Amino acid sequence: RLGFHSLRSTLIQRLQDVGVHDEIRAAIAGHELDDEHHAAYSRASTPAEMRDAINRVDFGLELDALRAVLNDTAARP
């Protein structure tokens, strides 16, 4: 069955495939790492780190046409 959790699971797996660290994967998924050391010694991931991690994943989508429409709309007064 497909749904939000299968989408999230696929994203987590794809992030792992491209070498994104556990802490950033957990932050993107809204999970907390249970390890005591993570809680004591790590800091929260920044939005920029999460964005960069997500941008490393190839979702197999061709978005050039959508970008063109969005850019055209943004250019209008």
Domains in the chain: boundaries: 4-75
Q: Are 52 and 46 in contact (CB under 8 A)?
A: no
The three-point CA angle 43-50-5 to 5° equals: 105
Which residue has better confidence, 24 or 77?
24
What tens digit of pLDDT does each residue of 3-57 get?
A: 667 788 888 999 999 999 988 998 898 887 776 666 667 778 899 999 999 999 9
Report pLDDT digits (tens) over 40-52. Answer: 677 788 999 999 9
